[in-house]
Structure 1
């Protein structure tokens, strides 16, 4: 183990607990299929880990426990930076590999955020990079704890972001579900209210024909004035039993004046049976 780095056991305990919490949350979400990427045996994760080993280690033995050991790198000038990186890659492949992973972590996750990717894609990208960093760090921890700690810290941060995205998505899903429930209840409520109105409209048509004077009314207003009182008595006395249930509560906030106004402005022009009744029994003055 790297003698230059001492990480408390509590860090690893909290990290494993966080990973377990994330796995559990994913398993109970709409993205449950992504939980497999938290498994060390994930074929995609293993393929990337193997790619990194071949790219940076090849058949060479890992050397160098800490990049700080190569203190002479600090004497390089800016123009010789590439030479320094090449030296690190040759003599300190573990550090070079982590630098490559960390750079990709930032580049890929940041691009997903600013590129307008769907939230599901953003979540998957963060999850995958977190899992890759975690298992890569665990694969080197026995010999290179300092470098492993950097990788695991990055994984921990990405796990936190995944948990945050999951929480936000759950809140959004609940809001969507609540909207659907309200819309469904509204439709049912609207249908129930429409059923009550149809009963009143049928009674209105009956009263128009029953109370119409010989020759009809001279105006729609006069007709409404004559039928509104007996119609209102009907509304107050009726229990509006529809589908074996009383819908009386649907008219509790209605008033006689409001009903007359509704007949004048809406039913007499938009409800076909009411409209025809008025047209039949209201005599227009000839110009």
Structure 2
């Protein structure tokens, strides 16, 4: 029999992508189980669940720097995940959880491995690190640590495409380096780990392809939309956020070493290929 899969965060970018790979799963959106409501999380019934996929998170990085946002981030990314981890361990459920490059400070200049130590810079990053630590105590878990997620929803690529089509000449950060992660590939990677019964643990995941800045990616978007990529001006993170209040610190280096997941037999396509397909669609 197919395992019974429960997905939290059904309406997010990843949640929507997971529907294509887990068509028979039970999907719960915020109105069904709000992770900010710890009582609802505690009452979540896992008695008939084999696999719990947590695709929900508080991801408003800058909002998490405010007192209200910080409280929500701690609830959703930290406390709720601790409860889910405890319930998954007790019910012997496989717990799949999505992490982020923000658990690192970006001070490295080589791709981060799954063994590298956390050094979260802001509140969002700290709450995600706390969630990771809780999930790592579940005997049967997969943590997928990812970066720069692009899917069905508001995101950087859609914003740049809109700016390009309106003839706007944006200033885009050019000193944050990483790779895009397309949700269709992240969802397929989750399916792959479960189907192949890969060893439990943490797996870095992004698309393959060259290390690039946000400005590099914006220029590719402009070019693929038939506009002059030179309309995009590169600026430093410090310049971009100068004078703005409530801004969370960003890691300047978000490259993830993919050798562990690729050793399981899954190699994601290049982000450049997926970017072209995404814009064509």
Is TM (by shorter chain) over 0.5? no
Q: Which structure's CA Rg is the greater one?
A: 1
Q: Which has the higher strand share?
A: 2
